[in-house]
A = this chain, B = another copy of it.
Amino acid sequence: MSAFDDLKAHLRVTCALEQVQGRLGWDQETVMPRGAADQRAEEMAAMEAVLHARRTDPRLADWLDAAEAPDEAGRALIAHARREHARHTRVPADLAQAIARETSRAQGIWAEARARDDGADFLPVLDRVLALKRQEAQAMAAGGDAYDALLAVHEPGMTGAEVSALFDRLRPALVALRTAVMDTGRKPAPLRGRFDHDAQIRLAHDLAERFGYDRARGRIDMAVHPFSSGSGADVRITTRVDEADPFNCLYSTIHELGHAVYEQGVAPEFALGPLGQGASMGVHESQARFFENQLGRSRAFTGWLHGAMTRAFGDPGGVDPGGIGAEDFHATVNRVHPGFIRTEADELHYNLHVMLRFDLERALIAGDLAVADLEEAWNTRFQRDFGMAVDRPANGFLQDVHWSVGLFGYFPTYTLGNVFAGCLWRAMQADLPDLDTALAQGDPGPAVRWLGARVHRHGALRPPRETIAHACGFDPDEGPLMEYLTEKFGAIYGL
């Protein structure tokens, strides 16, 4: 065996174990008995110890020195392995295990705190998670910026300063558009009524099929916080149901389908290797947000969805969902209004939610904000950005799972995903002029296949920005996103 073959064989087993770890995470959030939390924390720490040992195996350095790549994919694999090896060798094994144990426990405590709408029990836990993640960030940064080191885990090649500059360009344009929309005084009707639980699930399954999700290599379950997990032949999604708000289930399902169809679409030859997954969380989010917004919330697709929802929830004779006619339904789906919850936000407010979290978590990691002051900082900032007061913790700093599980440096990838999705939309429109005809029949197939060929099948072969540039034929920036938003919301609100 050559050094390259040894390296690849080693990474294959590591990837298989990462899949096991992912499956444990799925189990924890969907089916695990509540009394198993402490034991599971030990199991997660044990898995992390195993993975850490493999990722810092001394032989890796030798193989990386000696490996000769046979082709482009081989070069990408080596580059990926080199980056990950450097990162992991900087983190002491004890710290990696402590983070795995603490975040496994913290997740359950967060879920209870959110359910009880009381952050008191959660704050000391978050404080411990933050302390551990700051240690990890400083170790990984090796003298560089701690937040950058965390961001690089999710978005290799991107820095906090670049994100900050991007957000500084995006924010005024978004706020101006939001203000123009709100100033029209138009208020599309929200949905009203009760939408049967089982009918929502059936429609979610129908959507899964339409968006190309292979159920033979996946499954759909319920979870408090929808997520997608796994790669290759076992990619699962979860959803949730609110009988007063079917969009919550339907659009979070479409979002997770974007993640899952991406993972399922990676070329089989990359399976169980570092290239056999999404290129970054930003690129991942671009697929999820594209499915959700550019496709799922388009005028053409919502035209079909209105009929599908009428069939799913109406009387046998058929009644409009919530009493809204087909003409107004697109405006209802895309209703712009400030709200507390990121995952339920419209496309204009969504990025403001992300920017708030980015600034707060950067301050937390920098040591400029203490966990004890987090709730007040959140509420103050929310009041400023959204013009309303947070009414309860579950609608404020307790709403997201991310920080409890140690995901700092993850939030900005959502907006980065929106930026990438904007670029992909511009490129796709040039290629697929008749897309609306298919979408109007509830068929996103042409768009999914375009993304499959341009993005999905390449996995992590290229760095994130190059992945998007390769798919689009131009370097990504925020221009196409603002153009898409301006055109879409201009039409809906008659600007």
Contact (Cβ within 8 A) B33 A16 = no
Residues of B within 8 A of A272 (CB): 39, 42
Identify the stretch in A44-52, A120-128, A245-253, A343-351 within 8 Å (CB) of chain B at 4 or more residues: A44-52
Chain B residues closer than 8 Å to A50, beta-carbon distance: 17, 50
Verify if A34 is at the interface (C-beta below 8 Å from B). Answer: yes
Give, as a whole number of angstroms, the nearest-CB distance from A205 to chain B.
14
Copies in the complex: 2
Number of A interface residues at 8 Å Cβ cutoff, please give it.
39
Is A196 part of the binding interface, using a Cβ–Cβ cutoff of 8 Å?
Answer: no
Proximity bits, A4-23, B CB within 8 Å = 1, else 0: 00000000110011011001
Pair B19/A39 contact, Cβ less than 8 Å? yes
Which of B16, B33, B49 is A218 in contact with, Cβ under 8 Å? B33
Query: In the complex, how many angstroms separate the beta carbon of A17 from the nearest chain B beta carbon?
Result: 5
Interface pair B35/A216, CB less than 8 Å apart:
yes
Interface window among A24-32, A168-176, A311-319, A443-451: A24-32
Report the nearest B residue to A54, measured CB to CB. B50
Check if A38 is an interface residue, CB within 8 A of chain B.
yes
Closest to A38 in B: B233
Q: Does A454 contact B (CB under 8 A)?
A: no
Q: Name A23's contact: one of B27, B37, B38, B214 (CB within 8 Å).
A: B27
Is A477 in the interface zone, CB < 8 Å from B? no
Name the B residues within 8 Å of A42 (CB-CB). 12, 16, 272
Contact with B along A220-259 (1 / 0, CB 8 A): 0100000000001110100000000000000000000000
A36 at the interface (CB under 8 A from B): yes
Instruction: List B contacts of A217 (CB < 8 A).
Output: 33, 35-36
Q: Once the chains bind, are A32 and B216 in contact (CB under 8 Å)?
A: no
Tell me whether A271 is interfacial, beta carbon within 8 Å.
Answer: yes
In the bound complex, how far is the Cα of B272 from the Cα of A413, in angstroms?
38
* Residues in B whose Cβ lies below 8 Å from that of A40: 233-234
Closest B residue by C-beta to A49:
B13
Could you jot down 24 A-B contacts, CB within 8 Å? A16-B42, A16-B43, A17-B43, A17-B46, A17-B50, A20-B20, A20-B24, A20-B43, A20-B46, A23-B43, A31-B221, A33-B217, A33-B233, A33-B234, A33-B236, A35-B214, A35-B233, A36-B217, A38-B233, A39-B232, A39-B233, A39-B234, A40-B233, A40-B234
As a 0/1 sequence over residues 66 to 92 of chain A, the CB contacts with chain B under 8 angstroms (1 = contact) are: 000000000000000000000000000
In this complex, the member of A33, A218, A232 whose beta carbon has the largest number of chain B beta carbons within 10 angstroms is: A33
Min CB distance A122 to B, Å, is: 21
Q: How far is the CA of A42 from the CA of B15 in the complex (A)?
A: 10
Q: Cβ of A19: which chain B residues have Cβ within 8 Å of it? A: 39, 43
Q: What 8 A-B pairs have minimum CB-CB distances, sorted nearest first?
A: A36-B234, A16-B46, A35-B216, A35-B217, A39-B233, A36-B233, A16-B43, A13-B46
B216/A34 in contact, CB under 8 A: yes
On chain B, the residues within 8 Å of A234 by CB distance are 32-33, 35-36, 39-40
A470 proximal to B (CB < 8 A): no
What distance in Å separates the Cβ of A461 from its nearest Cβ neighbour in chain B? 20
* Cα–Cα distance between A12 and B46 once the two chains are bound (Å): 9
**Residues of chain B lying within 8 A (CB to CB) of residue A39:** 16, 19, 232-234, 271-272
For residue A202, CB closer than 8 A to chain B, the reply is: no
B33 and A219 contacting across the interface, CB-CB below 8 Å? yes
A219 to B38, CA, bound (A): 17
Enumerate chain B residues within 8 angstroms of A35, measured Cβ to Cβ: 214, 216-217, 233-234
Nearest B residue (CB) for A17: B46
Name the B residues within 8 Å of A13 (CB-CB).
Answer: 46, 49
Most chain-B CB neighbours within 10 Å: which of A24, A31, A38, A214? A31
Minimum CB–CB distance from A232 to chain B (whole Å) comes to 5
Complex interface: chain B residues within 8 A of A33 (CB)? 215-219, 233-234, 236
- Cβ contacts under 8 Å, A23 to chain B: 23-24, 27, 43
Smallest CB–CB gap between A264 and chain B, Å?
Answer: 10
Taking the nearest CB of chain B, how far is it from the CB of A104, in angstroms? Answer: 12
Contact A45 B16 (CB under 8 A): yes
Shortest Cβ distance from residue A56 to the other chain B in the assembled complex, whole angstroms: 15
| Bound-complex Cα distance A43 to B23 (A) | 10
**A265 shortest CB reach to chain B, Å:** 14
Chain B residues whose CB sits within 8 angstroms of the CB of A45 once the complex forms: 16
With the chains together, A183 CA to B36 CA distance in Å? 52
Task: Report how far A85 CA is from B79 CA in the complex, Å.
Answer: 39
Complex Cα spacing A378 to B130, Å: 62
CB neighbours (8 Å) of A36 from chain B are: 217, 233-234
Closest to A39 in B: B233
